[in-house]
Structure 1
Amino acid sequence: MSVLAIGWEPELRGLLTVVIAVVILMGSVYMIMATNMGARLAFLVALAGLAGWMMLMGVVWWIYGIGLVGASPTWQPVAGSAVLQDTAALRSGGVLDVLPPIPEDANPTEEASIVGAELMEEGYVVLDPASPASGQAQAEASVLLEEAGAFEAGQYAITNIYDIGGDRYPMIEAGKVPGLTNESLDFLAFFHEPHYVLAEAAPFQQVRTEAGRAPVTPQIDETRQRQYVYMVRDLGTRRQPAVVLTLGGGAIFLALCWLLHRRERHLQHNLDENMAVTPA
């Protein structure tokens, strides 16, 4: 029965696989070294090698963002200003510094154009709809709109994605370093400014559906107010596990190296004393 349990339980089979691999791989190395240098010294040497290998593996994972990774970067709603249902809310929500003057006879489409011009005047840029950044922002904005009950699926379209911030610093300008042709070097840019996006959602016109006929192509309703989703970029913790592994493995490796060095000094000191007191 126990053999059947091991064969059919994926968790137990995986646990036993790891235990057997550790015992065979690390245990065999320790056993070989123990026959040559003793049990305690072989244990210190094997553990130091394991810690050093973990430190090097953590460095590689840290550089490339692979292996044991944390949370990936995502778009998160700005607290208190996630879904803005009118133009005035853009000013109170902190999106715009100045609310642009809007004519009384302007329809929602003209109002959205005036707001877009003001956003670009204040430093926002419009993302290319085909870019991956725009696709990620659209997907998250759609989730927030539907969770807030502003629209239902298929009743709206994300028309524009406005982007601002997210600059990294400190940057090294290529002109200050001889021989470099790139615009800048960013491998020392560990700090970031807040990164925001504003998604503009336009409602569709309500159309009647008839059984047996193809659905009508949705059209934007020019008489209904545009709504906006304000989001901030969460950079996540993708490299945090690798950093912890590198620092932890490095600390253990250095401590074990110091213990081995200390043992070697004591051994050499005892050998010198024995040689000094040995009669000629």
Structure 2
Amino acid sequence: MNLLAIGWEPELRGLLTVVIAVVILMGSIYLIMLTNMGSRLAFLVVLAGLAGWMMLMGLTWWIYGIGLRGPDPTWQPVAGATVLQETDALRSAGALEVLPEVPADATAREEGELVGEQFREEGWVLLDPSSPAFGQAQATASVFLEEEGAFAAGAYVITDVFDIGGDRYPRVKAGKIPGLTNDSLDFFAFFHEPHYVVAEAAPYVQVRDEPGRAPVSPEIDETRQRQYVYMIRDLGARRQPAVVLTLGGGAIFFALCFLLHRRERHLQENLSNSKAVAAA
């Protein structure tokens, strides 16, 4: 009955798989070396080999960003200023330093164009709608808009996405290294400036669905206010588990190598002393 219970419990089955794998793979190697080295020395050698393998595997994962991975970079809401339903809120939230001058008779589309020009004047970059960065920001902004109840699903469209920041430093200029043709080297640019995006959402005109007729293509409602989603980039920690594995495995590996070296040195000293005593 216990075996049947294990077959239906994924937690126990996974635990047994790991235990069996450890016993068969590492245990078999330990058993072979135990017959030649003894239990203690074989244990140190096998454990040092395992730690060295973990260090090399972690280093490979660290370099290529694969294997054991942490959270990927994502867009996160700016605290207290995520969904901005008024143009004036762009300045109070810190997205814009100066608000554009909007005429009293301007339509929602004209006001949006003035806001877009102000973004570009202050150094924001308008992303290409076909770029992956636009698509990622659009998907995340849609989640925030629907969670906040600003729009229902399918009742709006993300028209523009403005991007600023995200530069890495310190960088080495190409002119300082002879023969270097690239603009800069960023192998050691571990620090980043804050990276922000603002996504502009325009509501659709409400359309009635009539049975038996093809749905009408949605159109932007030019009489309703544009809304904006203010987000900051979270760089994540994709390589953090690999870094911990590499450093931890390396520390254990070199510590065991030191113990093996010290044991070998003491063994040689004892053998030389025994030979000297036997010769006397």
2:240 corresponds to 1:240: yes
2:20 corresponds to 1:20: yes
Q: Secondary structure at the match of 1:249?
A: helix
The equivalent of 2:80 in structure 1 is: 80
The equivalent of 1:278 in structure 2 is: 278
Distance 1:59 1:31 in 2: 29
The equivalent of 2:189 in structure 1 is: 189
2:169 corresponds to 1:154: no
Shift of 1:211: 1.9
Worse overlay, 185-194 or 223-232: 185-194
Deviation per CA, 1:38-89, whole angstroms, max 9, x where unpaired?
1101100110010010011000111111111111111000001100011100
Distance 1:133 1:164 in 2: 12
Deviation per CA, 1:111-142, whole angstroms, max 9, x where unpaired?
11111111011110011111111111001100
Distance 2:263 2:93 in 1: 65
The equivalent of 1:167 in structure 2 is: 167
2:255 corresponds to 1:259: no
Worse overlay, 86-95 or 201-210: 201-210
Q: Which amino acid aligns with 2:81?
A: S
The equivalent of 2:67 in structure 1 is: 67
Count, aligned residues: 280
Distance 2:101 2:157 in 1: 26
Distance 2:20 2:50 in 1: 17
Q: Which amino acid aligns with 1:104?
A: A
The equivalent of 2:211 in structure 1 is: 211
Shift of 1:154: 1.1
2:123 corresponds to 1:115: no
Shift of 1:254: 1.1
Q: Which amino acid aligns with 1:125?
A: V
2:95 corresponds to 1:95: yes
Distance 1:5 1:64 in 2: 41
Q: Secondary structure at the match of 1:19?
A: helix
| 4+ long deviations beyond 6 Å | none
Q: Which amino acid aligns with 2:154?
A: G
Shift of 1:212: 2.0
Q: Secondary structure at the match of 1:34?
A: helix
The equivalent of 2:228 in structure 1 is: 228
Distance 2:150 2:18 in 1: 50
Q: Secondary structure at the match of 1:101?
A: coil
Shift of 1:92: 0.3
Distance 1:71 1:279 in 2: 67
Deviation per CA, 1:156-176, whole angstroms, max 9, x where unpaired?
110000000011112222333
Distance 1:181 1:28 in 2: 54
What is the percent sequence identity of the aligned residues?
A: 75
Q: Which amino acid aligns with 1:143?
A: V
Q: Secondary structure at the match of 1:278?
A: helix
The equivalent of 1:49 in structure 2 is: 49
2:250 corresponds to 1:250: yes
Distance 1:258 1:44 in 2: 11
Shift of 1:182: 2.5
Q: Which amino acid aligns with 1:136?
A: Q
Q: Which runs of 5+ in 1 are unaligned?
A: none
Shift of 1:147: 0.7
Shift of 1:194: 0.6
Q: Which amino acid aligns with 1:264?
A: E
Distance 2:199 2:115 in 1: 12
Q: Which amino acid aligns with 2:229?
A: V
Distance 1:17 1:183 in 2: 51
Shift of 1:236: 0.8
The equivalent of 1:125 in structure 2 is: 125
Q: Which amino acid aligns with 2:254?
A: L
Q: Secondary structure at the match of 2:157?
A: strand
Distance 2:137 2:31 in 1: 55
**TM norm structure 1:** 0.96
